[in-house]
Amino acid sequence: MEQKKLVAQAIVDATGGQLSLDEVMSKIEVPKSYELGDYAFPAFILSKVYRKAPQQIAPELVEKIDQDGFDKVEAVGPYVNFFLDKKSFSKNVLAAILQKKEGYGQQDLGHAGNVPIDMSSPNIAKPMSMGHLRSTVIGNSLAELLKKANYNPIKINHLGDWGTQFGKLIEAYKLWGSEEEVRKDPINTLLKYYVHFHEVDEKQPELDDEARAWFKKLEDGDEEATNLWQWFRDESLKFFKSIYQKLGIDFDSYNGESFYNDKMDEVVNLLEQKNLLQESRGAEIVDLEKYGLNPALIKKTDGTTLYITRDLAAALYRYRTYNFVQSLYVVGNEQTNHFKQLKAVLKEMGYEWADDIHHIPFGLITSGGKKLSTRKGNIILLEDVLNDAVDLAKKQIAEKNPDLPNKDQVAEDVGVGAVIFHDLKNERLNNFDFNLEEVVRFEGETGPYVQYSHARAMSILRKAGNVDLENAQLAGLNDEESWEVIRQLSNFPAMVRRAVEEYEPSVIAKYSIHLSKSFNKYYAHTKVLTDDDQKDSRLAMVASVAIVLKESLRLLGVNAPNEM
């Protein structure tokens, strides 16, 4: 960053202040190939000022530029290409990383503003799906990224613990349930009742009325309904928490849909006061035609509320509680319309802050190219995936490094980390197919590969013994092999920024793969520990790689063992 400013300043000076520093900064490019230099300035933007072709301007600028701090400055066509002074550039980058350590890349984009993140949000009495996994790990990574950019994220698990389906579940339990069976295996048993309910009610639609009546009772605070519901919720939550623990992810709030039960009257009243509610076949709706959206169904004929009613109450609650600068919802792209409706209704209610609500959608995980579906039995269970991944990691460690201390912990870090990393390296919106073997591979673009690169850097540092790099006078590095690594390292703060601005953890995951690749290539060509005047600089680079890889993985929610 500093270096880019150096380039920009040189241009500003050469043009005698015709352009502002910010203007030039925003125009400077990084050439695709580094044979064309480290930065390039396109002279197009000056052709109006000078009334000349950019091809003519570029060489004239080169004449005027003070070459201090650069290896070379040259004109190629309409571009002015800058080659940085590698030694001083690398010295600056490495010194900054060694001094800031894991704080490297920190920046103030958020001014400590609150950002609630609605994430994970599985449904009570159902298994957690791969979709919920995506929401959990994307949400968690966004929280870490936002924190690094000085926002204050608040991780909210908006549990699906309210709605007509609980009427169905209670009815099913009353008809066929056994307490003992539920205690033994809560989630699967409850799911079984729920699925059975759907089979039976196709022939006996009156069951639906019973179910609706139970949900109505639940909303009205009936004791039996409430106790059963509470029991189902407790059991489910116990189970969900065991998965979160495996993933190493926690939440600031478990306020799910039920939390808003006593806050929905206000929403309905507000909508009424603002004349937004219309009756449609006995139900209450908000018309959203002018947004090109279907009407939002706020209240059913029997007076019970809906998913969106609870989301309206939640949005209002979050605004009042957190006075947020942004409010994020990490939820699959199949709910895009729901969030459009949510924002539109809030807009209609006159809340300007509706513009600060962002749905962060993501694509589907498929298996064998097919969509996963609980109903059709094509389902991958998250707890199985995590356990299998850890087992596979154990096997690989037993083959590659049988004497490794802490084997079990490392296998956890690698197995779980592999699953998280695999999810995050795909751009959020892409669908991807899940294949466990591929996820846990030590080579290729996987989490274990990045973890392994970090461990390799750590092992070089162990071999080097106690070198006080922080206080060493670094000579800097100017060889081609290290240059790629140095450039990557200097890019990290910009990558953090991009990941935050695009809500895209994959930026960091891909970055960590690139850095690992350049580092491994470097290592294959260079004897780091040779005694010469650049040894400290090489070690400083290895230490910097270790720091930045570990920090990248941390931002993704993945541990980086020191040995593996």
DSSP-assigned beta bridge partners for residue 29: 40
Quick one: which H or E segment has residue 316?
Answer: helix 307-322
- The residue count of the chain comes to 564
Contact predicate 433/408, CB 8 Å: no
Question: Does position 318 bind ligand ARG by CB under 6 A?
Answer: no
Quick one: which H or E segment has residue 433?
Answer: strand 432-433
Instruction: Kindly tell me which of 168 and 425 has the beta carbon lying closer to ligand ARG.
Output: 168
At 165, give phi and psi (nearest 5°).
-60, -25
Question: Does position 331 bind ligand ARG by CB under 6 A?
Answer: yes
Contacts of 207 (CB under 8 A, 6+ apart): 171, 197, 200, 201
Instruction: Kindly tell me which of 105 and 139 has the beta carbon lying closer to ligand ARG.
Output: 139
Question: Does position 117 bind ligand ARG by CB under 6 A?
Answer: no
CB of 94 to ligand ARG, least distance (A): 44
Give CA–CA dist 3/267, Å, rounded.
53
**Which residue's C-beta sits nearest to ligand ARG?**
160
Contact predicate 194/169, CB 8 Å: yes
At 143, give phi and psi (nearest 5°).
-60, -45
Instruction: Kindly tell me which of 342 and 418 has the beta carbon lying closer to ligand ARG.
Output: 342
The binder of ligand ARG chosen from 110, 127, 153, 160 (CB under 6 A): 160
Question: Does position 161 bind ligand ARG by CB under 6 A?
Answer: no
Site size for ligand ARG (CB under 6 A): 10
The binder of ligand ARG chosen from 4, 91, 134, 158 (CB under 6 A): 158
The binder of ligand ARG chosen from 79, 215, 239, 329 (CB under 6 A): 329
Residue closest to 60 by CA, chosen among 18, 3, 115: 18
Stretch that binds ligand ARG, among 56-64, 65-73, 119-127, 456-464 (CB under 6 A): 119-127
Instruction: Kindly tell me which of 86 and 168 has the beta carbon lying closer to ligand ARG.
Output: 168
The binder of ligand ARG chosen from 123, 140, 341, 426 (CB under 6 A): 123
The binder of ligand ARG chosen from 81, 121, 488, 559 (CB under 6 A): 121
Stretch that binds ligand ARG, among 49-57, 72-80, 121-129, 267-275 (CB under 6 A): 121-129
Question: Does position 118 bind ligand ARG by CB under 6 A?
Answer: yes
Q: Which two tokens stand for residue 300?
A: 């059913």
Q: How many helices (H) and strands (E) does the chain have?
A: 21, 13
Contact predicate 64/14, CB 8 Å: yes
CB of 259 to ligand ARG, least distance (A): 11
| Residue whose entry in the numeric block shows the structure tokens 């600056």 | 92
Give CA–CA dist 111/404, Å, rounded.
44
Instruction: Kindly tell me which of 184 and 238 has the beta carbon lying closer to ligand ARG.
Output: 238
CB of 123 to ligand ARG, least distance (A): 5
Q: Which two tokens stand for residue 459?
A: 């092992």
CB of 12 to ligand ARG, least distance (A): 48
The binder of ligand ARG chosen from 38, 311, 348, 536 (CB under 6 A): 311
CB of 50 to ligand ARG, least distance (A): 55
At 332, give phi and psi (nearest 5°).
-50, 155
Per-residue CA distances from 3 to 275, 527, 541 (Å): 57, 28, 18
Residue closest to 419 by CA, chosen among 464, 451, 457: 451
Contact predicate 338/307, CB 8 Å: yes
Enumerate binding residues for ligand ARG (CB under 6 A). 118, 121-123, 158, 160, 311, 314, 329, 331
